[in-house]
Structures are given as structure tokens and as C-alpha cells.
Amino acid sequence: MILSETEHSCLRGILQAYEKDPRVLEMDNYIQHGSVTTYQHCWNVARVSFWINRRFHLGADETALAVGALLHDFYLYDWHCAGRFQLCSGLRSIFKMHGFIHPLLARENAERCFSLSPKVRNIIRSHMWPLTLLHAPRCREAVIVCIADKYCAVLEALYRDRQKAICV
């Protein structure tokens, strides 16, 4: 899944303001999967989402797609720490675990820092569907990011070497 030079330039142009923002760059301080940082993971998802949209001629709003993909894990904490990944007692406590709660936290953080369109809010909130059963993707951009996120997560978890885990 390799973007052409023109596609890569287009994607970087859309995300230029975000990729230099210190709050977004803070994601580089946290490991997401294997040895890949959250920042790198979000860029992987943005590139794969852009590729899927272009190759399958899906006609998604490329700005919403790129911004939503870059900010989909904008939760800004180390989810590997005790209390974030442990199983808690009781069924209700399970829904407070990272996999269930981080889309909401990421969307709240993104809303505090940036002006988000309804599509971008849906992309961020629904990217863990079907785990977040009640928060399903409601636009094609959210479906694309949801698929790209799972694809990238699998590659990043399988390949412990950071360079091999780069999706595109």
C-alpha cells in the first residue's frame, strides 16, 4: 500500500497544521503497538485510509478522512500502565478499560484542541467499532478509518521491528 508522490504530498498538505502541533506531537511519547508510537500509528492509519479511498474510488471527504485518521488515538496517555489494561472486577468496570473508553477520550481531547467537523468527530468516536457497539461509523470516512486502524494494528503488533511495521 504505497501512496504516489502526488498523493503523499496531498495528504501532507491536508495535515500540515496538525503534524507540527505540539499537542499532536505528544502522541510520539507513547507506544501504541509493538514498538510503534501512537503518532506513527496514527500516520500509518492516515496513509492507509487515504490509499483505500483513492484505490477503491470511494469518494470520501479527504480532509475529514485524513484529520480523523490522524486524531483517532489522540488520548495522550500510556495505555500499557497498570489500571488501563488490567481486567477490573465486575462487568461495568470492563467498559472503563482502554479499548472501550479511549475513542471518547480521544474525541474529547481533539474537540478541546481543534475545531472538528461532525464527520471527524464520528471517525474518532467510532474507530473501535464493533468493540464500541453503540458508537458505529455513520459515514464512509469513519468506515474507512475503522478498517485501516485494524489493518495497521495487526501489522504493528505482528512486526516488532518498527521499520517493518510501517504500513505504507
Q: What is the pLDDT of residue 2?
A: 92
pLDDT cut 90: percent of the chain above it: 64
Q: What is the pLDDT of residue 166?
A: 56
Q: What is the pLDDT of residue 167?
A: 54
Position with higher pLDDT, 44 vs 103: 44
C-alpha cell at 77: 496517555
Q: What is the pLDDT of residue 85?
A: 47
Helix or strand or coil: residue 33? strand
Q: What is the pLDDT of residue 88?
A: 52
Helix or strand or coil: residue 60? coil
Q: Report the pLDDT averaged over residues 143-158.
A: 94
- Distance, in Å, from the CA atom of 45 to the CA atom of 42, rounded to the nearest integer, reads 5
Segment 77-136, tens digit of pLDDT: 665 565 544 455 555 555 566 556 788 899 999 999 999 999 999 999 999 988 776 788
Q: How far is CA 77 from CA 2, 54, 98, 101, 118, in A?
A: 30, 32, 10, 12, 25
Q: Report the pLDDT averaged over residues 23-44.
A: 91
Q: What is the pLDDT of residue 163?
A: 53
Position with higher pLDDT, 166 vs 78: 78
pLDDT cut 70: percent of the chain above it: 80
What is the length of the chain?
A: 168
Domains and their CATH numbers in the chain: 5-78+86-158 (1.10.3210.10)
Answer yes or no: is pLDDT of 18 > 60. yes
